Amino acid sequence: MTPDARYPGTIPPGGLRIPDAFGPGGLMAYVDTHDLGYPTVRVVRLAPDAQLRTGDRTPRT
């Protein structure tokens, strides 16, 4: 549920997972295994407006 009581939907199994590593500025790294069996590292950046602050419950405008 979102703060305004909307249901965003069901997350499919394996759809979300905790990153294997975190970096500065919202960077997250995931280690995956390629179809051929070798490891790959995928690095993504969390959008600045999506970053959460612990204890911050004020809605953003």
Enumerate the β-bridge partners of residue 39: 33
Which pair of tokens denotes residue 44? 């993504």
pLDDT band at 44 (very low <50, low <70, confident <90, very high): very high
**Rounded to 5 degrees, what are φ and ψ at 21?**
-155, 150
Q: What is the pLDDT of residue 30?
A: 93
pLDDT over 80 (residue 23): yes
Q: Can you tell me the mean pLDDT for 31-51?
A: 87
**Rounded Cα distance, 59 and 53, in Å:** 12
